Amino acid sequence: MVAGESLVDIVVPADGGPRHDAVGGSCLNVAVGLARLDVPTVLLTRVGADKYGDLVVEHVQASDVVLAEGSVVPEGSTSTATAYLDEQHAATYDFEIVWDLPRQKLPARTIGVHVGSLGATLEPGRGSVVDLVQQAVAEEVFVSYDPNIRPFFLDDPEAAWRDVLEIGATARLLKLSDEDLRLLRPGSAEEDVCRELLAGEHTELVVLTRGGSGAIAFTDGATLPVAAPPTNVVDTVGAGDSFMAATLAMLCDWDVVGGGEGALRALDDSRVELLVRGAVTAAAITCSRRGANPPTRRELPAAWPAG
């Protein structure tokens, strides 16, 4: 299960070209990425019964994501984000967000819960996400977390960092970007921050993504950098979400998600490096085309994650 925001990105190119609408939201992107990698996925979200909500429903159903009951609110409105692309194709955002998710019961037979970004940040819905995570921990269900901090909503970095630590301590896998780190802990060394997160009660692996420089995995005994493959970048929208989805898909393939506490920590260094290599490969494909468009398994190299 992925629990979090869905929205429609209104993308504004740097060259003054026409705007276009694209379904997005970090958590929705992760759910779509997982389903395209053949992981059965339920998305718990909130959209309205409006034209943008129809786009969201069509998009997730086209990738065989199951929408959790209650995700479409007949009287509600669908959130939007206007993405402004710069000359390097990176995006900055303006948001119109409604996030009032009610409390939910963790479905039976759930083997993993992923949360993050605005869904794990904005009240009142954040409280329901935290409650769902706590249910997962009590049931010994795998939790993953990507803070995916949005500067537009970052009023108090210290309070945001406390929120990250609260959810991060419940997550066996925590992924964040170097941009997240700079926003949350300016002036702090990357490794120091990542190892602080790794010290969370349930945390077994922390991965720091670094854009075109690849990613670094932090385990109890090692620091494992992995380079990004050469890529003809169209834009970076959704790249981190593709990285997250690919990571979780591999862990499902390897029976780590359903393998219980300690299964992720038990991976040796070579397997962790393979995990990150597979994730940066998926993210690179997303960067090579417009919008948050994660790859299917058939679009990945035949030897993926090794290739």
Please give the residue range of the domain that contains residue 292: 2-299
Between 190 and 237, name the one with better pLDDT.
190
State the pLDDT at residue 82. Answer: 82
Q: Which of 246, 236, 189 is nearest to 211 (CA)?
A: 236
Does residue 304 belong to any structural domain of this protein? no
Write out pLDDT tens, residues 130-159. Answer: 999 999 999 999 999 999 998 888 999 999
pLDDT digits (tens, 9 = 90+) for 164-173: 999 999 999 9
For 245-284, what is each residue's pLDDT tens digit?
A: 999 999 999 999 999 999 999 999 999 999 999 999 999 9
Q: Domains in the chain: how many in total?
A: 1
| Position 177, amino acid | S
How many CB atoms are located within 10 Å of the residue 21 CB?
14
pTM for the model stands at 0.93
Query: H or E element: which one contains 156?
Result: none
**Taking a C-beta distance cutoff of 8 angstroms, is the pair 81, 24 a contact?**
yes
Strands 7-12 and 79-85: parallel
Q: What is the pLDDT of residue 62?
A: 97
Give the distance from CA 235 to its chain's centroid: 17
pLDDT band with cut points at 50, 70 and 90 for residue 290: confident
% of residues, the chain, pLDDT over 90: 84
Residue 117, domain member (yes or no): yes
The CATH code of the domain that includes 146 is 3.40.1190.20
Is residue 51 in some structural domain?
A: yes
In a domain, 305, yes or no: no
As a whole number, the mean pLDDT across the chain is 94
Q: With respect to residue 307, please indicate whether it lies within any of the assigned structural domains.
A: no
pLDDT at 307: 64
Strand ranges, E, within 64-198: 66-67, 72-73, 79-85, 91-96, 112-116, 142-146, 173-177
* Mean pLDDT within 98-104: 93
Mean pLDDT of 80-98: 80
pLDDT tens digit string along 225-236?
999 999 999 988
- On whether residue 231 sits in a domain, the answer given is yes
- Does a structural domain hold residue 306? no
Place of tokens 């309205």: 48
Burial 141-168 (b: 16+ CB within 10 A, else e): bbbbbbbbbbeeeeeeeeebbebbeebb
| pLDDT given at position 55 | 95
Quick one: pLDDT at residue 7?
92
